[in-house]
Structure 1
Amino acid sequence: MYQLYIANKNYSSWSLRPWLLAKALDIGFEERLVPFEDGSSFEAFRHFSPTGKVPCLVDGDITVWDSLAITEYLAERHSGVWPADARARAFARSACSEMHSGFSALRNLCGMNCGIRVKLFAMPAALEADIARIKALWQQGLDSFGGPYLGGSAFSAVDAFFAPVVFRFQTYGIALSGPLADYAARMLALPAMEQWYQAALAETWREPSHEAEAKAAGHWLEDKRACR
């Protein structure tokens, strides 16, 4: 059985992607959660990951690192990872690649922290542009392939790749309306998303750099996480 190494569910957006994909598609795996360490987790993660980063998938004597590589590895072995329709599949792969390599303002200013609610101090132009582009991508997918998911009628990798954004929008109060709000609500209602979220709330770990990042982003309105 696959072994999927991840970090804290409250913080680790990269870990969420393959975890959610496998859960939603009923691809069996053993979860190996290794918490972030204060400062650098590189040495701890190097025990299982060549890059010292998560996520990392181990399949017997094969090790696959990076969320996009893990997605493609699973796609070679399991159906449903990518949409069946060629146009939808091309869109899904392009959108995943854009998410994987872009949106630096959103990543840097609105780090994933599932259990808190934050009112942003400001909306810099770069962050506003990232949010607008994500909304446009979501709208394109829903309009082009009929929904209710970004690649059509079934959940696929493109939804998994934007799942951390759904949590970020919830945390930082990013307004959505119409079909985009419906899509975000649909994602949050997925049993696997709810499972991840509840586990994130139950975590008592607090990693200083992630906490400081959220403090710098805005005023904390609520902290729903379990007490330390």
Structure 2
Amino acid sequence: MSLTLIIGNKNYSSWSLRGWLAIELTGTAYQETLVPLYQADSRARLQAHSPTAKVPVLKTAEGPIWDSLAISEYLAEQFPEAHLWPRERYARALARSACAEMHSGFVALRSHMPMDLKRNQALAEVPEDVQADIQRICALWNQCRSQFGQGGPFLFGQLSLADAFFAPVAARLRSYQVELPDNAAAYVEAIYQWPAFQRWYQAALAEQLG
């Protein structure tokens, strides 16, 4: 199977990171194409790959898939042996709920704390709606970990798509030096110890684009 993942700048593109970690979880071979964002020709270059001119895009033999959640579901179906979702039924439902909440929510966090992996500085003041998002994220992580995290350091013990979706959130919390409860801080550390995330992170630190 020939797969190509179109992504944006590794330092800034949180949605690209989600799609990239998802395909890394499959263990399959794929091609990666990086289209620099925030350039005069970025939209035109992205439109050559995606009808929405956004990243990530997974190019398959059947056609393009241009949404992170859709990409994740496609990969889970295409590579069932990789167990991208947790194996237990309610754990899968909870993982999907968590990913959907991330996909459509936490607007304040995204607005005030955009992903910037090179950053290491707190906000001068954290708005109340951002604090509310952080509290909800910590509560959600704690729910997943307390119910299904016994088998390892990730949200459902072993790595899953839920971790791919929340890795950029963990990165934001570290980049903006957010003080976290011990269990949430331990999860952030687990993300940073994830070899695939580390490869992306190191590439982001070396990136000169945009």
TM-score scaled by structure 2?
0.93
Q: How does 1:216-227 map to 2 (within 5 A)?
A: none
Q: Secondary structure at the match of 2:120?
A: strand
Residue among 158, 168, 172 paired with 1:164: 168
- How far 1:61 sits from its partner (Å)? 3.4
| Structure 2 residue aligned with 1:4 | 5
1:82-113 C-alpha deviation (Å, 9 max, x unpaired): 11100110000000000000000000000000
Q: How does 1:38-57 map to 2 (within 5 A)?
A: 38=39, 41-57=42-58
Take 1:2 and 1:26, find their aligned partners in 2: how far apart are those partners?
12
State which drifts further: 83-92 or 27-36: 27-36
Question: Contact 2:15–2:68 at 8 Å: present in 1 too?
Answer: yes
| Structure 1 residue aligned with 2:16 | 15
Q: Aligned pair 1:78/2:82, yes or no?
A: no
Question: Contact 2:117–2:205 at 8 Å: present in 1 too?
Answer: yes
Number of positions where the alignment pairs a residue of Structure 1 with one of Structure 2? 205
Q: Secondary structure at the match of 2:188?
A: helix
Residue among 177, 181, 188 paired with 2:185: 181
Q: Aligned pair 1:150/2:155, yes or no?
A: yes
Take 1:42 and 1:97, find their aligned partners in 2: how far apart are those partners?
26
- How far 1:40 sits from its partner (Å)? 7.3
Structure with more strand by fraction = 1
Q: Secondary structure at the match of 2:5?
A: strand
1:155-194 C-alpha deviation (Å, 9 max, x unpaired): 0001100010011011100112322211111110011011
Q: Secondary structure at the match of 2:92?
A: helix
Q: What are the ranges of 5 or more consecutive residues in structure 1 without an aligned counterpart?
A: 207-228
Q: Secondary structure at the match of 2:121?
A: strand
State which drifts further: 102-111 or 113-122: 113-122
Question: Contact 2:121–2:176 at 8 Å: present in 1 too?
Answer: yes
Percent of aligned positions with the same letter in both sequences?
46
- How far 1:41 sits from its partner (Å)? 3.0
State which drifts further: 101-110 or 54-63: 54-63
Letter of the 1:66 counterpart = D
Residue among 120, 124, 133 paired with 1:121: 124
1:103-135 C-alpha deviation (Å, 9 max, x unpaired): 000000000000111220211110000000000
* Closer/same/farther in 2, CA of residues 26 and 180 from structure 1, 3 Å limit: same
Letter of the 1:195 counterpart = R
Question: Contact 2:35–2:42 at 8 Å: present in 1 too?
Answer: no
Q: Aligned pair 1:202/2:206, yes or no?
A: yes
Take 1:115 and 1:161, find their aligned partners in 2: how far apart are those partners?
20
Take 2:18 and 2:149, find their aligned partners in 1: how far apart are those partners?
23
Take 1:64 and 1:86, find their aligned partners in 2: how far apart are those partners?
26
